[in-house]
Amino acid sequence: DVKVTQSSRYLVKRTGEKVFLECVQDMDHENMFWYRQDPGLGLRLIYFSYDVKMKEKGDIPEGYSVSREKKERFSLILESASTNQTSMYLCASTTNKIEAFFGQGTRLTVV
């Protein structure tokens, strides 16, 4: 089975901290994504990547950056965490058939 693993299920960080969310997939997928999920807003795309060292902005990239140094790993970085970045973050990877596989999510609270 495809596995997408997010390094933390729950995180609590202070305002202004630099935060790293890590995601690893084990199926050699080319495409990886970071979404943010908020009640009533569904999933919104933050960044995605089609290949190593390649990244593209999604719909809400402000306040975030990403890194993809290896094919299996896609990291989301909050440069200076703010309370409005409190949310559930979901990582996904896709096959060439577009079907997406999701990690368990990281619930981030910024205080």
Partner 1 sequence: AQSVTQPDIHITVSEGASLELRCNYSYGATPYLFWYVQSPGQGLQLLLKYFSGDTLVQGIKGFEAEFKRSQSSFNLRKPSVHWSDAAEYFCAVGGVSGTYKYIFGTGTRLKVLA
Instruction: Select the span of 12-20, 31-39, 60-68, 78-86 touching partner 1 (CB under 8 A).
Output: 31-39
Q: Does residue 43 touch partner 1 according to CB under 8 A?
A: yes
User: How large is the greatest C-alpha to C-alpha distance in the chain, in angstroms?
Assistant: 40
Per the CB < 8 A criterion, the answer to whether 96 and 29 are in contact is no
Instruction: Select the span of 11-19, 43-51, 60-68, 78-86 touching partner 1 (CB under 8 A).
Output: 43-51
Question: CA–CA separation, 24 vs 74, rounded Å?
Answer: 7
Q: Taking Cα atoms as reference points, which of 26, 28, 29, 22 lies closest to residue 91?
A: 22
Closest CB 109 distance from partner 1, rounded Å: 14
Contact residues: partner 1, CB under 8 A: 4, 9, 31, 33, 35, 40-43, 45, 48, 50, 58, 90, 92, 94, 97-105, 107
